Amino acid sequence: MPPVPPVMPQATMPPKQGSSLTGILGAILVLAIVICGALYFWSQRAVSPATDTMPTSLEQPKAPSENDQIEADINATDVDNLDAELNAS
């Protein structure tokens, strides 16, 4: 067998110091975007006028609705003689 040359140990890379700084800068950027968005929506809501829910005048009584007319027709229907009419046919 031929002689095998000795293998030299490889130097390991030291950990990067900038990786933690990148995470911190990313978090600050995300927080800045969220804060800017919140301020934008807050300013838009402050600009829009609040709607007044109090009535300015009393509502006038309305004409009978279609439901009232249907109910009046049902009440006027004579259901007592309905069986007699069905049996006669």
SS3 43: helix
Q: Is 35 helix (H, G, I), strand (E, B) or coil?
A: helix
Give me 84's structure tokens. 């007699």
Per residue in 27-65, pLDDT (tens digit) is: 999 999 999 999 999 888 766 666 667 766 766 666 667
Q: Tell me if 28 is assigned to some domain.
A: yes
Number of domains within the chain: 1
Residue 36 lies in domain: 21-46
Q: Is residue 31 part of a domain?
A: yes
Residue 7 belongs to a domain: no
Asked whether residue 75 is assigned to any structural domain, the reply reads: no
Predicted TM-score (pTM) of this structure: 0.35
Tens digits of residue pLDDT in 59-80: 666 666 788 888 888 888 877 7
Write the single-letter amino acid at 26: G
Asked whether residue 32 is domain-assigned, the answer is yes
**Contacts with 10 (C-beta within 8 Å, 6 or more apart), sequence order:** none
